[in-house]
Structure 1
Amino acid sequence: MTDANGSIQTLRPARQLADLPSRFPGESAAYRRSRNELLAEEIELRRHIERVAEQRRALPPGGVVPEDYRFVGEAGPVTLSEMFGEHDTLVTYNWMFGPRRARPCPMCTSLLSAYDGEMPDILQRVAFAVIGRSPIDRLVAFGKERGWRHLRLYSSGGNTFNRDYAGEDPAGDDQPAFNVFTRGDGTVRHFWGAEMGPSTADPGQDPRGAPDVMPLWTVLDMTPGGRGSDWYPKLEYGAAPR
């Protein structure tokens, strides 16, 4: 693995780093042995995530964006290049809330609700745009209903952005998608887009990207029951547990 200066670093074996003594009250020797074996795998997973991120950053220049797409934001018309603001990187998320939907996708809503809280930090580093095909007033109204404060919402109802970068059929279903764009020397390029989906899913698993972008699943994956196989987020629930 290379450090920030490009120097090769020799890493200690994960199993050696994971050789911890008992840590928690009442744990058995069998529990600690199994936990340390798991810890070694967690260290290796972290290292693999770092390698993948490094490989992603090293991608050659992506394709030039075919047009400066025009959207409608809360303040009026805006182009893709204008969404960058002061940054040279723009992250976009295709929100499954097209005009044919009575209500938006619950999974998208769960994800975006988590990101709304992170947005003041994210916007220090990159620009971030949430793009849906419904009229902007409809997008904004739902955002207010959910209590979103920081997400920047845009309607793509008048362009082909969603079709070009999320594979959406204008007459069909919405598709979720992350895309990353860069801007330099007056040129906007596509840097990376999420391409994992049903065709790349493993048997018995819900299709998802890697690393998983859902904070909800990250938390549930640390629990004995995991994320389950028959539960997904909803837009509304019953009375909150006390």
Structure 2
Amino acid sequence: MTEADPSTQTLKPARLLADSPRRFPRESAEYRSARNDLLAEEIELRRHIERVAVQRRALPPGGVVPQDYRFEGEAGPVTLSEMFGAHDTLVTYNWMFGPQRARPCSMCTSLLSAYDGEMPDILQRVAFAVIGRSPIDKLVAFKKERGWRHLRLYSSGGNTFNRDYAAENPDGDDQPAFNVFTRSGGTVRHFWADEMGPSTADPGQDPRGAPDVMPIWTVLDMTPGGRASDWYPKLEYGAVPG
């Protein structure tokens, strides 16, 4: 079945769809009116996300990768083209865990911990590689400490992949980055990268991408307190609040 392009469809106005039949115990008429107004905006947001996804998928071919980068994997050396396995799409995440760091970035760790649980499903559709500049033994040691089971780790310490595709200065701090590559007829091309950062951030907001890739923020955005401007994930916590 081919996927429908939402830009070519006549859709019902979101406000008509937002007349929710749901009612919760003792909710007021004021609450229901405001909730239905919000529901209309949520429907519009979903539609906009889909329009952006269609536009992303329609990008023209990206640049051919300049070399078949060689990495150190958990089972030995591997090239970028070999990371695809049986897939024609490869997603890479640049993990902020370079050799200058004793411990990895806590935000990256929170993200990757969530993705580890999703990885058996993700790998049904695409290949996924987690890339860091530290030696592979250091990356794997943290993987074992964290209890990750499904993430595939690779060290880029011996190549320029991070510099080429994460705008990373090899003598400076790590940079997080998502990149998507495609392979067709033996040719590997770059398809897409997240390019939102500090220069694109709105006042008072973190320089996050859209849609946000962090599951933790998606959950907290549904709560009254939201993300909070002074809280970020940590590698370790004390007792979890009851």
TM range (shorter): over 0.9
Deviation of residue 73 (structure 1)?
0.3
Indicate the residue corresponding to 2:20 in structure 1: 20
Q: Provide the C-alpha distance between the structure 2 equivalents of 1:139 and 1:145, rounded to a whole number of angstroms.
A: 10
In structure 1, distance between residues paired with 2:43 and 2:201: 24
1:22 and 1:153, CA in 2 relative to 1: closer, same or farther beyond 3 A?
closer
Deviation of 1:21 (Å): 4.0
Q: For 1:134 and 1:4, how far apart are their aligned partners in 2?
A: 41
Work out the CA distance in 2 between the residues paired with 1:207 and 1:23: 37
1:204-223 Cα offsets, whole Å, 9 max, x none, are 00110000000000000000
- 1:38-58 CA-to-partner distances (Å, cap 9, x unmatched) read 000000000000000000000
- Cα distance in 1 for partners of 2:204, 2:9 equals 38
SS in structure 1 of the partner of residue 228 of structure 2? coil
Which residue does 2:132 correspond to in 1? Answer: 132
Is 1:175 aligned to 2:175, yes or no?
yes
Q: Does 1:225 align with 2:225?
A: yes
Aligned amino acid, residue 41 of structure 1: E
Ranges in structure 1 where 5+ consecutive residues have no aligned partner: none
Answer yes or no: is the 8 Å Cα contact 2:5–2:54 preserved in 1: no
- Provide, for residues 14-70 of structure 1, a one-character-per-residue CA deviation record: whole Å limited to 9, x for no partner: 000001245111100000000000000000000000000000000000000000000
| Structure-2 residue corresponding to 1:37 | 37
1:164 and 2:164 matched: yes
Cα distance per residue 1:83-118 (max 9 Å; x no partner): 000000000000000000010000000000000000
1:5 CA displacement: 5.2
Q: Match of 2:232, SS?
A: coil
Question: What SS class does the counterpart of residue 134 from structure 1 fall into?
Answer: coil
Q: Distance in 2 between matches of 1:212 and 1:22?
A: 28
SS of 1:230 mapped into structure 2:
coil
Please say if residues 21 and 32 of structure 1, whose CA atoms lie closer than 8 Å, have aligned partners that are also in contact.
no
Deviation at residue 241 of structure 1 after TM alignment = 2.9
Are the equivalent residues in 2 in contact too, given 1:22–1:32 (CA < 8 A)? no
Tell me, in whole angstroms, the C-alpha distance in 2 between the residues paired with 1:108 and 1:194: 15
Which residue number corresponds to residue 119 of structure 1? 119
Q: Report percent identity of matched pairs.
A: 86
Show the 5 A alignment for 1:64-213.
64-213=64-213
Contact 1:116 1:149 survives alignment (8 Å): yes
Q: Look up the SS of the partner of 1:231 in the other structure.
A: coil
Task: Name the CA distance, whole Å, in 1 between partners of 2:202 and 2:19.
Answer: 32
> What is the one-letter code of the residue matched to 1:224?
P
Q: Which residue identity does 1:4 align to in structure 2?
A: E
Query: How many Å separate the matches in 2 of 1:218 and 1:240?
Result: 20
One-letter amino acid of the structure 1 residue matched with residue 221 of structure 2: D
The CA RMSD over aligned residues, in Å, is 1.1
The whole-number CA distance in structure 2 between the counterparts of 1:136 and 1:108 is 17
1:4 counterpart = 2:38? no
Letter in 2 for 1:18: A
**Structure 2 SS opposite 1:60:** coil
TM-score for both structures, normalised by structure 1? 0.97
Flag as ranges the 4+ runs of structure 1 deviating above 3 A.
Answer: 5-8
